[in-house]
Amino acid sequence: MRALLVVNPAATTTSARTRDVLIHALASDLKLDVATTEYRGHARDLTRRAVDGGTHELVVALGGDGTVNEVVNGLLEHGPAPEELPRLAVVPGGSTNVFARALGLPNDAVEATGALLDALRDGTERTVGLGLASGTPGTPDEAVPARWFTFCAGFGFDASVLGRVEQQRERGKRSTHALYIRQALRQFLGEPHRRHGTIGLERPDQDTIKDLALAIVCNTAPWTFLGNRPVYAAPRASFDTALDVWGLTKLSAPAMTRYATQLLMSTPERGPHGKHAISLHDETDFTLHSQAPLPFQMDGDHLGLRTSVTFTGVRRALRVIV
């Protein structure tokens, strides 16, 4: 089998030596071509060229969730066709690796490579659903193409936090859970829409849900991880269904304390709930819109400001080696 390995050299938890070991291990079982990313969006470009050339049966993403997202968008540049497209495999190299861990893969890159090779020998794979989002830009001259996501998207507060974290990382800060918590607190203290949300959620033939201050769209559970602890915003979300939405209508200090505690204590059976929370399951088509431009993120990647984002849950979009 011929495979393309897309390597992010800046991946948080892998060193050059570790990557060399992993490449050697994969090359022992595969006809392996290795490509290293050099700029944001490069993984998508590399994967798209492999798809258009029809030369590879498998694309392996070695990196974090951002690298995986780019590879997925390269694979699906022309839309989903699971039986015709190369399969996807993931070797986690980021700080959180939500997609890989949600698939049940080890969080360690070496162990995950061993699991991948075992799966290839056994011929085990699954076809997963994905989310597709297209948005109205925050400024009139900004082009926003449709984009796929693997595990989550966020509109408003959580995207603002990710934007703050990215700014800190550009200044040389390490991506740690402590960094995320500090930036979440700072965003909360400065949040302009804390008491009166500006987000509306529209669905076909349904009443609009108004005044959301936070909206998280999940394609699987858990939503994220804090170290080894899984966090479930939408416990019923699954790669086998469409999309789930969890939102809050109020971000007051008591409300945020209550829901943050519930998130930390969440389980596969019970997520955060209460009079200020909304929860939707298995939604195929809906739109989030805001009276003012708000930050938007997909798979942990801050994408700037949007005034409206339309979501589609696409079942059975891509084959993944597991």
Q: Which of 61, 91, 123 is the C-terminal boundary of a domain? A: 123
Residues 43-85 pLDDT 10s: 999 999 999 999 999 999 999 999 999 999 999 999 999 899 9
> Would the pLDDT of 140 be above 60?
no
Q: For the domain that residue 161 is a member of, what is the CATH number?
A: 2.60.200.40
Q: How far apart are CA 100 and CA 121, in angstroms?
A: 19
86 in any annotated domain: yes
Whether residues 161 and 310 fall in one domain: yes
Whether residues 116 and 142 fall in one domain: no
322 in any annotated domain: no
> Would the pLDDT of 26 be above 90?
yes
Helix (H, G, I), strand (E, B) or coil at 296: strand
Q: How far apart are CA 99 and CA 219, in angstroms?
A: 10
> Would the pLDDT of 177 be above 80?
no
Whether residues 141 and 97 fall in one domain: no
Whether residues 154 and 299 fall in one domain: yes
93 in any annotated domain: yes
Q: For the domain that residue 11 is a member of, what is the CATH number?
A: 3.40.50.10330
Tokens of 167: 């700014």
Across 175-196, average pLDDT: 79
Closest CA relative to residue 85, chosen from 74, 69, 70: 74
Whether residues 98 and 185 fall in one domain: no
212 in any annotated domain: yes
Check residue 270 and report its DSSP letter: B
Residues 255-304 pLDDT 10s: 889 999 999 999 999 999 999 999 999 999 999 999 889 999 999 999 99
Domain residue limits at 115: 2-123
Whether residues 269 and 179 fall in one domain: yes
Total of domains in the chain: 2
Whether residues 176 and 299 fall in one domain: yes
